[in-house]
Amino acid sequence: HNPPLVCVVPGDDAAPEVVRPTVEILRELAPEIRFAEAPCGREAQAQYGTPFPDVTREAIDAADCTLFGASGGPSRPILWYLRWNKETYINVRPVRWIPGYRSPMQHPERIDYVIARDNLEGMYPPREGDVAELAALPSSGSWWMAPPVEKAGAYSIKVSTDEQMQRVANHACDLALQRQSAGYPGRVTLGAKYSIQPRTDGRFRAIVKEAVSQHPSLTYQEFLVDDMARRLVASPENLDVVVLGNEHGDILADVSSGTIGGLGLSPSACYGENYAYFEPVHGSAPDLAGQGVINPTAMLLSGALMLDYLGYNKQASALTSAIEQTYREGTLLPVDQGGQAGTHEFVQAIRAHLPEHGS
């Protein structure tokens, strides 16, 4: 069989500082996997005159999947390519507290669920225009809802297609079934603004509800997304698979991350029919760039999700356990978790817990 090929896009600002050590660890765990780093952002701009050169697009296309750092602006077109051109329709963001994570919650041990976020539609990609253009739209019939077309201003569009909502719903159900076979309750919880957006979020609600009803072992729950935000903090123990639209999922993933101890800890995986890419929930952390203190945990856990995707499940578990053991011991912790370890030192601590090193 052909060993997998992974395209590595380090991203901007502090992102390469977590991507490169992650690739080193993945290489140690699965020497068979081939990694090809592709130029991006400012370096690509300097060398190729564009932040997203053809060689990078070709490297992404040639690979089985991509490991992506984060874009602080310059690498943004690459992120867009990974989402829309590769049609990675769902963004899966596991939220799980591990002993040793510095959570602000009183009972963080109750936090263990997965966010399933639409990765393609809603208010993304940005489609904006002048309010005057709204005059062409059919009137809602209510004066307070009529577009203020005589005024100067802008609008932003939200789009949800049945096809996309359906595959997000189906994927969420598959996730819940998968988790159920591992002992989770099999509960799908939708958070959306169906109260005020009947045609987008209302339709999403109907589609998710119907999809869940196709699986007798699963239960369906729904909350208006503002209330959902509170529940992530007040009663996370009731959550299993949380389905959210694109912008809601973006915001609430960072809230969830806050409940377990911060952005340094939250991984993500984006899956399409024919492609996948893996990136942390966090951004390029420009405030940390060059300091050698950024927490590599989110990136490493994204790497573990990638190992699972590629069929290296044993190696994925080994990496996850090494991270868990390092936090559990707590003798060495990253700066954002109240410790003093720099990125390199913390990666070394994790490495010491990998099976090859006999611990």
Residues at the site binding ligand NAD, with contacts judged by CB under 6 A: 70-73, 79, 263-264, 279, 282-288, 294-295, 298, 336
Based on the shown chain and the rule CB under 6 A, indicate whether residue 250 belongs to the binding site for ligand IPM.
Answer: yes
Helix axis angle for 203-213 and 162-180, nearest 10°, is: 40
Nearest to 299 by CA among 259, 343, 253, 265: 265
Nearer to ligand NAD, 285 or 316 (CB): 285
Q: Between 187 and 248, whose beta carbon lies closer to ligand IPM?
A: 248
- What stretch of H or E contains 278? strand 276-280
Kindly give the pairing relationship between strand 219-224 and strand 5-9: unpaired
Structure tokens that stand for 235 in this block: 């009663």
- Give the nearest distance from C-beta 99 to ligand NAD in angstroms: 19
Phi-psi category of residue 300: left, alpha or beta, with phi > 0 → left and psi -120 to 50 → alpha:
alpha
Number of residues that bind ligand IPM (CB under 6 A): 4
CA-nearest of 262, 277, 228 to 248 is 228
Q: Considering only 29-37, 143-151, 246-254, 342-350, which stretch makes contact with Mn ion by CB under 5 A? A: 246-254
Least distance from Mn ion to the Cβ atom of residue 302, Å: 14
Residue nearest to ligand NAD (CB): 283
Q: Are residues 39 and 48 in contact, defined by beta-carbon separation less than 8 angstroms?
A: yes
Q: How far is the CB of 96 from ligand NAD (least distance, A)?
A: 16
Out of 250, 275, 278, 316, which residue is the one contacting Mn ion (CB under 5 A)? 250
- Closest Cα partner for 159 from 199, 191, 190? 199
The SS3 of residue 219 is strand
The minimum distance between CB 279 and ligand IPM, in angstroms, equals 7
Q: What is the 3-state secondary structure (H, E, C) of 14-26?
A: CCHHHHHHHHHHH
CA distance 47 to 52: 11
Q: How many CB atoms lie within 10 A of CB 136?
A: 8
Residues 280-309 contacting ligand IPM, CB under 6 A: 281, 283
Of residues 98 and 253, the one with the C-beta less far from Mn ion = 253
Task: Name which of 71 and 164 has its Cβ closer to ligand NAD.
Answer: 71
Reduce the DSSP state of residue 136 to 3 states and report it.
helix
287 contact, one of ligand NAD, Mn ion, ligand IPM, none, CB 5-8 Å limit per kind: ligand NAD
Q: How far is the CB of 18 from ligand NAD (least distance, A)?
A: 6
Binding mask 59-98 toward ligand IPM (x if CB under 6 A, else -) reads ------------x---------------------------
Residues that bind Mn ion (CB under 5 A): 250
Contact residues for ligand IPM, defined by CB under 6 A: 71, 250, 281, 283
